Amino acid sequence: MKLDISDKEAIIQRDRKTYAITPHIPAGLTTPEQLEQIATVARRYGARLKLSSGQRVMLLGLAEEDIDSAWNDLEGMRRARPFGPCIRSVKICPGTECCKRGQQDSVAAGLKLDERYQAKILPWKLKISVSGCMNDCAEACIKDIALLGTSKGWHLQVGGNGGSAPRLSRRLLEHIPSEEEALAAIERLINWFISQNRKCRIGKLVDEVGLEEVRKIALGGSA
Ligand code: SF4
């Protein structure tokens, strides 16, 4: 059986012959030029295109021998890693950049998180999201770590996930007054998750350790 080719960031498809690759599109913000480049590469190598839940465009059905060339032709685009034990994605809503309901700049905060953590290797997979208000269009409710904009700052949520054992995230910190403090709390949570070295979603760890203890960790104390 063929396997995913992790060093090429390619995923074997159901036919066990072809591969999918995914250029990274931070915040799902793209341009006509970037979409034209992706479309040109897809046409050249006979790939189909799929919009992903991680706010990217996947190229499906590539022959193994075309993977390197396709990545070369996607020049200037980073490679996403939508598989394996790592930070899979940072899902980001439009926030105050363009949404009339936005209360915080989710794009600015989310792009900083994306820059710091996208594809970072971890003990297990972890998804992040940032929503600009409590309407939660970026689905903080089912993300491992998430920020929600409020009129006074940010709520930090932890422990959500989808999958076969779905779980809703829980409120860890309320109305964090600055983006800087919110990002610092997330850094502490990710470092704690790494230190635990467990092959499970962070929500399971939160259940084991207790929300209060995890709150102390996020605030810079120790568990
Ligand atoms: S979560 Fe709020 S700010 Fe973000 S897109 Fe939805 S309504 Fe707009």
27: left (phi over 0), alpha (psi -120 to 50) or beta: left
- Per-residue pLDDT in tens (0 to 9) along the chain, 223 residues: 455 666 778 999 999 999 999 999 999 999 999 999 999 999 999 999 999 999 999 999 999 999 999 999 999 999 998 888 999 999 999 999 899 999 999 999 999 999 999 999 999 999 999 999 999 999 999 999 999 999 999 999 999 999 999 999 999 999 999 999 999 999 999 999 999 999 999 999 999 999 999 999 999 986 5
User: How far, in Å, from the CA of 94 to the mean position of ligand 1?
Assistant: 6
Pairing between β-strand 10-12 and β-strand 145-150 as defined by DSSP bridges: unpaired
Please state the domain extents for the chain.
6-73, 87-218
**Substitution site in 55, 91, 93, 106 for ligand 1 pocket (most atoms within 8 Å of beta carbon):** 93
Residue 35 has a CB neighbour count (10 Å cut-off) of 13
Specify the ligand 1 atom closest to the Cα of 133.
2
pLDDT of residue 82: 80
Q: Where are the beta strands (DSSP E) in the chain?
A: 10-12, 18-21, 48-51, 57-63, 87-92, 126-131, 145-150, 153-158, 170-176
Phi, psi of 94 (to 5 degrees): -65, -30
Instruction: Please tell me the distance from the alpha carbon of residue 21 to that of residue 171, in angstroms, as a whole number.
Output: 35
**Ligand 1 pocket by C-beta < 6 Å: which residues?**
93-95, 99, 101-102, 106, 131-133, 135-137
User: How far, in Å, from the CA of 217 to the mean position of ligand 1?
Assistant: 28
* b (16+ CB within 10 A) / e for 76-90: ebebbbbbeebbbbb
User: How far, in Å, from the CA of 112 to the mean position of ligand 1?
Assistant: 18
User: How far, in Å, from the CA of 19 to the mean position of ligand 1?
Assistant: 34
Decide: pTM greater than 0.85.
yes
User: How far, in Å, from the CA of 68 to the mean position of ligand 1?
Assistant: 38
Specify the ligand 1 atom closest to the Cα of 95.
3
Domain topology for 6-73: Alpha-Beta Plaits (3.30.70)
**Substitution site in 101, 129, 147 for ligand 1 pocket (most atoms within 8 Å of beta carbon):** 101
Give the amino acid at 81.
R
CATH number belonging to the domain at 87-218, selected among 2.40.50.100, 3.40.50.150, 3.20.20.70, 3.30.413.10: 3.30.413.10
Question: Could you tell me which residues are beta bridge partners of residue 149?
Answer: 154
User: How far, in Å, from the CA of 153 to the mean position of ligand 1?
Assistant: 14
